[in-house]
Amino acid sequence: KAGVTQTPRYLIKTRGQQVTLSCSPISGHRSVSWYQQTPGQGLQFLFEYFSETQRNKGNFPGRFSGRQFSNSRSEMNVSTLELGDSALYLCASSLGTGDSTDTQYFGPGTRLTVL
Amino acid sequence: ILNVEQSPQSLHVQEGDSTNFTCSFPSSNFYALHWYRWETAKSPEALFVMTLNGDEKKKGRISATLNTKEGYSYLYIKGSQPEDSATYLCVPNAGNNRKLIWGLGTSLAVNP
């Protein structure tokens, strides 16, 4: 079974631009979660999508948005980029049962650099 | 605010040494505990998920125990190898909103 894939792997943008990141989950997984990781910080939860609907949301500004398609693929968009948005963005997929034991499987991440 | 604390923050051992880390989490409203291993330049990899007090899980040379009453979990690595070098993350699912709580983990370096 193919793992979680993310594209692109690396991205360089300038302040004020917007960016779209893509995530393809493991086949059969219906939940996709997005995380941000910056140096010295644990994974920060952005949001979770399940069946094309945002099911959970973290504490990020509205510049961060996402969506999920009918095939469970998900995209994350960041508008009006700021220097502080430079980070590793990870996507994780799971079955989406809602059970606390539902295990997340991570993609390789997208390294975003904002200049 | 619910927090997870892992100790030590980092650890350097020699190949062949056995080692263990501690994870502390709030014991109230506990639902499950996940352990992940995150090697540099790779994705976090799920190791175990545990739910019951007294649970023990094992995967090769790595094992974990869970005490939900006092809110801690131990991860043991027997006979550490250089390929065990990674950050080990303990991730409880706890709290009223049943969210995963991600900490900074324990960074393990195994010297050959």
User: What residues in chain B have their Cβ under 8 A from chain A's Cβ atoms?
Assistant: 31-32, 34, 42-46, 49, 51, 89, 93, 98-100, 102-105
Contact B46 A103 (CB under 8 A): yes
Q: pLDDT tens digit string along A45-98?
A: 999 999 999 999 999 999 999 999 999 999 999 999 999 999 999 999 999 988
Q: For B17, phi and psi rounded to 5 degrees? A: -70, 150
- Tell me which residue has tokens 């960074």: B107
Residues in Cβ contact with B12 at an 8 Å cutoff, skipping those fewer than 6 apart? B109, B111
- B54 token code pair: 């007294």
H or E element: which one contains B92? strand B86-94
Residues of B in contact with A95 (CB under 8 A): none
CA-angle at B111, arms to B105 and B112, nearest 5°: 140
Contact A108 B42 (CB under 8 A): yes
- C-alpha A75/C-alpha A55 separation (Å) is 15
A40 vs A11: which has the higher pLDDT: A11
How many CA atoms within 13 Å lie on the side-chain side of B105?
Answer: 23
Contact B51 A103 (CB under 8 A): no
Supply the pLDDT for residue A39: 85
Supply the pLDDT for residue B2: 57
Query: Across all residues in chain A, what is the average pLDDT?
Result: 95
Contact B31 A100 (CB under 8 A): yes
Question: Average of pLDDT values for B12-30?
Answer: 92
Q: pLDDT tens digit string along A25-39?
A: 999 999 999 999 998
Supply the pLDDT for residue B57: 96
Residues of B in contact with A46 (CB under 8 A): none
Residue % of chain B over a pLDDT of 90: 79
Inform me whether the pLDDT recorded for B1 exceeds 50: no
Q: pLDDT tens digit string along B23-69?
A: 999 888 889 999 999 999 899 999 999 999 999 999 999 999 999 99
Inform me whether the pLDDT recorded for B98 exceeds 60: yes
Residues of B in contact with A106 (CB under 8 A): 43-45
Supply the pLDDT for residue A1: 67
Exposed e or buried b for every residue in A71-107, given b needs 16+ CB within 10 A? ebbbbbebeebeeebbbebbbbbbbbeeebebbbbbb
Supply the pLDDT for residue B85: 97
Supply the pLDDT for residue B96: 63
Supply the pLDDT for residue B100: 86
C-alpha distance from residue A81 to each of A2, A75, B87 (Å) = 32, 16, 29
Contact B43 A45 (CB under 8 A): no
